[in-house]
Amino acid sequence: MYRLSKRAAAPIVAFLVAIILLSSMSASIMLVSEEYRRSAAGNVEQVEEVSEALRENVKVTLLSVSGGVVTLQINNTGDVPVRLTKVLVKGDDDSLITACLPSPVEIPAGGSKTVTATIPEGSISSVGVMSERGNIFVASASTVVFTQTGLPSGTEWSVTFNGETKSTTGDSIIFEDVEPGTYGWSASSPVNLGGDTRYVASPSSGAIDVPNQTVVAITYSAQYYLS
């Protein structure tokens, strides 16, 4: 039976101790890695939940697109502010255009603001905005406005748009939540006031391509019966 001297055994003991230490360190690293993975997964899940909540709380309405200028109404019904930095425009050919806002726009919790940005002219299929954290909110619908001039104050007139008819004695008729597409419309014409006078609309009907056109101006002109 062989016996090792203390001097000969020392390297072996040191080697065994090193193996034990390395095993312990590896186990610790694995525990830390697993904890980090769980933490990272939890953070991703939390970010996704926050993003989904933001998408539900932020409503974007396209008000108009005219002369290379897009105007959006942003409503924030959530309890945290949203800071917007860019406007995104998708063309009919699926091209994506990013327009930076002159300065970040903060929409306070429970507040709303109108955002305007300059974009290249052309047909578009959808519009959205991007926050500084990368959340994207797409305008789900547009607001279409018909205005009139020429009728005497208090005169009732009407517009039929996409099968829906609205009347007013004011100067404008509004149709909300209009999806992108081409829609036909017609205005009441002639408008008879009794006696020898009536008012004729110009134009009295037509079609508009939403969201490329969201405002229609109608002019009424008086006509007189000759006896």
Enter the CATH code of domain 59-141: 2.60.40
Among 214, 62, 68, residue whose Cα is nearest residue 147: 214
**43 Cβ contact partners less than 8 Å away, ≥ 6 residues apart:** none
The pLDDT of 100-126, averaged and rounded, is: 83
Compare 2 and 118 and report the one with higher pLDDT. 118
Domain coordinates in residue numbering, the chain: 59-141, 143-224
Q: What is the pTM of this model?
A: 0.56
Residue 159 has pLDDT above 90, yes or no: yes
Number of C-beta neighbours around residue 1 at 10 A: 2
Residue 81 has pLDDT above 60, yes or no: yes
Question: Which tens digits make up the pLDDT trace of 169-227?
Answer: 999 999 988 888 899 999 999 999 877 899 999 999 999 988 878 889 999 999 988 76
Residue reference for tokens 């255009």: 97
Residue reference for tokens 């954290």: 133
